[in-house]
Structure 1
Amino acid sequence: MTAFRARLTDMDIRRLIKATDEDERAAAAHKLCRSIDRAELTDEDREAAQKILRVLANDAAELVRRSMAVTLKASDLIPHDVARRLAADVDSVALPIIGFSPVFTDEDLIEIIQAGSAVRQIAIAARPRVSRDVAEALSVDGCEQAVRTLASNDNADLSERAMARTIDRFGDAPEIVAALAYRQVLPLDITEKLIALASDAVREHLVSRHAVAPETAIRLATFARERATVDLVDQAASSADLPRFVAQLNARKALTASLLLRALARGQMTLFEHGLAELTSTPHSRAWLMIHDAGPLGLKALYDRAGLPPRLFQAYRAGVDTWRALQAEGADTSGEAFRERMLERFLTQRPNAPRDDLAYLMERLDQAAPPVMKAANAA
């Protein structure tokens, strides 16, 4: 036994009980609980410690019980029955334990949620970890602030069903919609629902951070300029099923020469390949060969078959050649840095591209530039 670790015996309990002043007992409880929490306890010590905790949990003074709850709120030393007792206490005692204690089961927490206390629901929603079942219970029975806290908690395991239920209950609450929208991972259906409810700023985040369905992307891309718009190049490139996305774009006549040129100039070669494959009804593997391995005439043959404007072919040719040159230099073609280099080099060649496309590419290049470069350009 080290000098730091005090022996936990009946003497400790008697010393604690002996004090008659509430403040004195609370100070003694805090000191004792802190020693217990830091100590390396043997089984015998642990049994004695839990005996002390049961005494503290039954102390008539709220200040003493709160002292224990705050000091040991995140400790696994508190017995399960004591934790439940404290959770049923007044808020000043219960909330620290409810918000942190690892000894509660999901069933315990769900029972507290269903009891209906808003402040206790909020404490559960903010816990360092919220399981899927507990999150489900909050989505059903939680008050608005508890659900908002849950949606903002990245350590809460929210299922798609819980998110959908949250939207059904609080879809008219902008703060909850925004909290959901800024979660790290969103199912596609949830993203679609949030887009319909979100403010312009939040909608911009959704369409730039999360892939949306092709139909939604096309619809958003046709919004007035002052509305939140979606970049179809970014949306297609981030799609989990690129062939399907490209097919949808083609079905809605959105797979245009302009879109493919913009994608190519920004280094999105896979999107360009799938786009030509879709337009020519050619398997992607064959389109890839014609673009990359069929000599100088392969790209021209595929391009002509796609029905793209002859006057733009040289711009496409410059894009493919630029991509190949950077790849030959050993560039990682999957990174954002590559896309910036690709765009810069493509534009320095003064490609014979439509004015709108050049304006778009220049705008994207300006967005990609680091702050120092932007400041220098402004000067």
Structure 2
Amino acid sequence: MQDRLTFADVERLLSEPMEDARALIARKVASQFSNVVLTPRERELAQEILGYLVHDIAAQVRSALAQCLCDLPAAPRDVILALAGDIDEVALPILESSTVLTEEDMVHLVLTGSAAKRRAIAGRKDVAPAVSDAIARAGDRAAVAALIGNEGAIIRSEALNAIVDRYSDDDEIMDPMARRTDLPICLVERLLTIVSDQLRQHLIERHDIAPDMAAIFEEQARERVLVERIQAIHPDEIGRVVLQIAERKRLTASLLLRALCAGESGFVETGFALLTNVPEERATRLIHDVGPLGFRAVYARAALPEIFYPAFRAALDVVHELQADGYLSDRPYLRHSMRTRIGERFPEIEAGDVDFLIDRLTRRLSPVSWGKGFAA
């Protein structure tokens, strides 16, 4: 073989002060390690030298070693692990392509390594489910974006939903997610109500969703956006906004429930007053009556679907409890509490957030025949 490793190289390695020369030897050793014609003694010598080089003080030497070993499936595991745990400059080639690393190794590196290391692992040709789970849990936006854009990554439904929970407003993550070819239909259902119009149309076409079903998803998405806008409206404008929504026949039970779950009690009170033709002050007293009859009477007079009543009752209980405890203004905690309490009333509905739960409640009223994978 050409350029064969010699004992002169070993002597030079031990005595050579120049980084460039040691880096050259590192490349020679690494390039010869996978050669099947090496004698057992030569292979043993090469492995000993690799073990020595991996601790070289010069990053240039260790980096040269990593670049030559990253694609060798027979590279010594202890050397690969040492390089993977090294500084980013050295570790990245190993993390991007070495098949010596196990799933457990990569999960550990995702949870303990740098942001650059997480991104490198997320972009590997193949990413196992356990590694994808770790990246989703780590909460590193750049790594998650790399993972979602990697069609070679196997991402479980639970991890995908966790990513949607955290990044639903991030187009740079939602766009590639909506375009993945391996989305479970339950996630497609959820994405349809939160992504942009363009991505929604893409999902509808790719998954062959019927027009009547698509219309329902579009309306649910519109309600979510409307509640976000309601939260920015000055209290003095609520009455006018409620009237406009009612005139367009969109003052629905689902919209009122979404608003209540978002802490917009003023909108809900004004809405029920309009639907029942009861003065707002009186409607408000009945809605927040500590007994069971006040709100029941208002709800019946509003002629809203009975299926939503338990959800409203649970949501009002949450509002009253958090108001008494001083936590009503904590919107994330409010929404979590709403999801938990309403979910207790509908244990058969699987939903990661309160809006998705309301979506599924709403579909129970629809005459649409839901396809396989879509829950009514």
Normalization by structure 2: what TM-score? 0.54
Give, in angstroms, the shift of residue 45 of structure 1.
4.0
Alignment root-mean-square deviation, CA: 3.0
- Aligned AA for 2:367? R
Partner SS for 2:193: helix
> Distance in 2 between the 1:196 and 1:60 partners?
54
Contact 1:86 1:94 survives alignment (8 Å) = yes
- Cα separation, partners in 2 of 1:188 and 1:29, compared to 1, 3 Å: same
> Distance in 2 between the 1:12 and 1:144 partners?
45
> Distance in 2 between the 1:207 and 1:47 partners?
59
1:251-288 per-position Cα deviation (integer Å, ceiling 9, x unaligned): 73799xxxxxxxxxxxxxxxxxxxxxxxxxxxxxxxxx
1:152 counterpart = 2:149: yes
Higher deviation after alignment, 210-219 or 196-205: 210-219
1:32 counterpart = 2:32: no
Q: Could you say which residue in structure 2 is the equivalent of 1:22?
A: 19
Q: Could you say which residue in structure 2 is the equivalent of 1:177?
A: 174
Pairs within 5 Å for 1:1-379 = 3-4=1-2, 6=4, 8=5, 10-37=7-34, 40-41=37-38, 43-115=40-112, 117-212=114-209, 216-219=213-216, 252=367
- Aligned AA for 2:114? S
Give, in angstroms, the shift of residue 9 of structure 1.
5.6
1:88-132 per-position Cα deviation (integer Å, ceiling 9, x unaligned): 211101111122111111111111111152111111101111111
For structure 1, list consecutive stretches of 5 or more residues without a partner in the other structure: 224-247, 256-379
Contact 2:30 2:69 survives alignment (8 Å) = yes
- Aligned AA for 1:182? R
Give, in angstroms, the shift of residue 151 of structure 1.
0.5
> Distance in 2 between the 1:31 and 1:133 partners?
36
- Aligned AA for 1:56? L
> Distance in 2 between the 1:222 and 1:90 partners?
50
Q: Give percent identity, aligned residues only.
A: 36
Give, in angstroms, the shift of residue 180 of structure 1.
1.0
Partner SS for 2:86: coil
1:148-173 per-position Cα deviation (integer Å, ceiling 9, x unaligned): 10011111111111111111111111
- Cα separation, partners in 2 of 1:13 and 1:164, compared to 1, 3 Å: same
- Cα separation, partners in 2 of 1:45 and 1:212, compared to 1, 3 Å: farther
> Distance in 2 between the 1:59 and 1:4 partners?
26
Contact 1:54 1:82 survives alignment (8 Å) = yes
Contact 1:50 1:79 survives alignment (8 Å) = yes
Normalization by structure 1: what TM-score? 0.54
Contact 2:34 2:75 survives alignment (8 Å) = no
Partner SS for 1:177: helix
Higher relative contact order (CA 8 A, sep 6+): 2
Partner SS for 2:192: helix
1:4-57 per-position Cα deviation (integer Å, ceiling 9, x unaligned): 483x56544223333221112212322332343466545544333222211110
Partner SS for 2:125: coil
Contact 1:30 1:71 survives alignment (8 Å) = yes
- Cα separation, partners in 2 of 1:59 and 1:254, compared to 1, 3 Å: closer
> Distance in 2 between the 1:173 and 1:139 partners?
15
Contact 2:29 2:49 survives alignment (8 Å) = no
Give, in angstroms, the shift of residue 72 of structure 1.
1.5
- Aligned AA for 1:127? R
Give, in angstroms, the shift of residue 211 of structure 1.
4.3
> Distance in 2 between the 1:172 and 1:145 partners?
15
1:304-337 per-position Cα deviation (integer Å, ceiling 9, x unaligned): xxxxxxxxxxxxxxxxxxxxxxxxxxxxxxxxxx
Q: Could you say which residue in structure 2 is the equivalent of 1:291?
A: none
Q: How many residues align?
A: 228
- Cα separation, partners in 2 of 1:86 and 1:204, compared to 1, 3 Å: same
- Cα separation, partners in 2 of 1:69 and 1:176, compared to 1, 3 Å: same
